Amino acid sequence: EIVMTQSPVTLSVSPGERATLSCRASQSVSSNLVWYQQKPGQAPRLLIYGASTRATGLPARFSGSGSGTEFTLNISSLQSEDFAVYYCQQYNNWPRTFGQGTKLEIK
Amino acid sequence: EVQLLESGGGLVQPGVSLRLSCAASGFTFSSYAMSWVRQAPGKGLEWVSSIGVSGGAAFYADSVKGRFSISRDNSKNTLYLQMNSLRAEDTAIYYCAKGAYNYFDSWGLGTLVTVSS
Q: Span A15-36, mean pLDDT?
A: 98
Distance (Å) from the alpha carbon of B13 to chain A's nearest alpha carbon: 25
Q: Which residues of A touch B57 (CB under 8 A)?
A: none
Nearest neighbour of A100 by CB, restricted to B44, B62, B105: B44
Task: Note the pLDDT of residue B100.
Answer: 76
A45 and B62 within 8 Å at the Cβ level: the answer is no
pLDDT-above-90 percentage for chain A: 100
B103 closest CB neighbour out of A91, A94, A95: A91
Cβ–Cβ under 8 Å, residues B33 and A82:
no
What is the structure's pLDDT at A37?
A: 98
Give the pLDDT score at B69: 98
| 3 state SS of B89 | helix
Predicted pLDDT at B9: 97
Indicate whether A9 pLDDT > 80. Answer: yes
Is B101 a residue whose pLDDT tops 90? no
Separation between Cα atoms, residue A10 and residue B106, nearest integer Å: 26
CA nearest to A74, candidates A5, A23, A9, A27: A23
- Three-class secondary structure of residue B31 per DSSP: helix
Across the interface, whether the CB atoms of A46 and B61 are under 8 A apart is answered: no
pLDDT on residue A67 = 98
Count the Cβ atoms, other than its own, within 10 Å of residue B102: 14
pLDDT tens-digit map of B48-97: 999 999 988 999 999 999 999 999 999 999 999 999 999 999 999 999 99
Rounded to whole angstroms, the Cα distance separating A23 from B46 reads 16
Q: Determine whether the interchain pair B95/A94 forms a contact, defined as Cβ–Cβ distance below 8 Å.
A: no
Give A42 to chain B, closest Cα distance, Å: 7
Q: Which amino acid is at A37?
A: Q
Q: From the list A43, A46, A98, which residue is nearest B44 (CB)?
A: A98
Report the amino acid identity of residue A102: T
